[in-house]
Amino acid sequence: MTLPAIEIPVYEVKLPTLNKTVKYKPYTVKEEKTLLMAIESNDEKQIFETSLRCCDSCILDDSVKIEELSVLDLELLMISIRSKSVGETVDVRVTCEECNHTLDIKADITKMKVKKKGKPKDTIMLDETYGVKLKLPSIDSVYDSLVNKTDELTSTLLACIDFVYDEETTYSFKDYTEEEKTDFIEKMTVENVKKINELFIDKLPSNCIDLPFTCPSCGKENKKTMENLLDFFI
């Protein structure tokens, strides 16, 4: 007689950028093993790839293409899967802003919320002729920047530019090589980049978890907020 198969629970999460409710299952012991092996490799690219693959196998909806999700949606999905797989809290090391005392606290990852920072302006003129149309960065582009080891500013810009345009033509960014795109970005003026940062990138919504804590050493009430939640998948 074969052993019975354990029924795996199914959960739902609504992804805001995609505007769709997606069903998912927690990851299994086998998948967790693969994740732990990836962590041991200490290779950022491998960890990210394995996390993506694991996340993909947990989604029970074939129409959702994980590499096309926005970072915002992927974070929410990963945090949701993680909370149902290994637990709803993660240990986070925090430092008191008053006395620099360091301690570990438990963050409740189910308390994640979207922080909106105003309305991003997605078309920006670079000079009198050329403008750029910007988009929410997708996972693909985060992955590219890990693989190509570009600096953070360049990789953010690479991830956000959808197309360049003038009065007659649009130049779709995805049709160009990494080198051509980087070259284009490096030739932008400091003023251009500042404008894109202020009007678009700084205003992109992000996921965050509030972590208020009272310092046991000096009593100071700290207000800390965690962003970049992709690290908390495992």
Site string for Zn ion, 72-111 (x = CB under 5 A): ------------------------x-xx-x----------
CB atoms within 10 A of CB 40: 10
Tokens of residue 113, six digits = 């919320």
Please report, for residues 25, 42, 196, the alpha-carbon distance to residue 59 in angstroms, rounded to integers and kept in the order given: 7, 26, 34
CB of residue 92 vs Zn ion: minimum separation in angstroms?
Answer: 16
Q: Does 220 bind Zn ion (CB under 5 A)?
A: yes
Nearer to Zn ion, 123 or 225 (CB): 225
Q: Does 218 bind Zn ion (CB under 5 A)?
A: yes
- Region of 14 (left: φ > 0; alpha: ψ -120 to 50; beta: rest) is beta
Between the two ends of the chain, the Cα-to-Cα distance in Å is: 35
The interface region with Zn ion, picked from 7-15, 136-144, 168-176, 218-226 by CB under 5 A, is: 218-226
Helix 44-58 × helix 29-41 angle, to 10°: 170
Residue 217 binds Zn ion (CB under 5 A): yes
CB-wise, 95 or 172, nearer to Zn ion?
A: 95
Residues found near Zn ion in the complex (CB under 5 A): 96, 98-99, 101, 215, 217-218, 220
